[in-house]
Amino acid sequence: MQESADKYSYLNEIKKERRYRVVNILLMCLIVALLVALIVFSTTLTTMLVKGDSMQPNLLDGNRILLVKHHFTLDYGDIVVIDRGGSDDDRYIVKRVVGKSGDVVKFDVEKKLWVRNGKPITDDYFDGEYSDSYLVSSSIENELKGEGFKVPDNGIFVLGDNRNISNDSRQNGAFAMKKVVGKVIHVFN
The residues spanned by each domain of the chain are: 1-44, 50-188
Q: Are 97 and 80 in contact (CB under 8 A)?
A: yes
pLDDT at residue 186, as a whole number: 94
If one compares 88 and 171, the residue with the highest pLDDT of the two is 171
Q: Give the range with max mean pLDDT: 42-46, 136-140, 156-160.
A: 156-160
Handedness of CA 127, 128, 132, 136 (dihedral sign): negative
For the cut 70, the answer to whether the pLDDT of residue 171 exceeds it is yes
Q: Is 55 exposed, middle or buried (0-12, 13-18, 19+ CB in 10 A)?
A: buried
For residues 23 and 58, the answer to whether their CB atoms sit within 8 Å is: no
SS3 track for the chain: CHHHHHHHHHHHHHHHHHHHHHHHHHHHHHHHHHHHHHHHHHHHEEEEECCCCCCCCCCCCCCEEEEECCCCCCCCCCEEEEECCCCCCCCEEEEEEEEECCCEEEEECCCCEEEECCEECCCCCCCCCCCCCCCCCCCCHHHHHCCCEECCCCEEEEECCCCCCCCCHHHHCCEEHHHEEEEEEEEEC
The pLDDT assigned to 4 comes to: 59
- Which option is the CATH number for 50-188: 2.40.50.140, 3.40.50.720, 3.40.50.2300, 2.10.109.10? 2.10.109.10
Residue range 8-58, pLDDT digits in tens: 677 777 777 888 888 899 999 999 999 988 887 778 888 999 999 999 989
Task: Note whether 108 and 100 are within 8 A (CB).
Answer: no
**pLDDT band of 136, cuts 50, 70, 90:** low
Q: CA gyration radius for the chain?
A: 27
**Furthest-apart CA atoms within the chain: distance in Å:** 104
Q: Tell me the whole-structure pTM to 2 decimals.
A: 0.79
Mean of the per-residue pLDDT values for the chain? 87
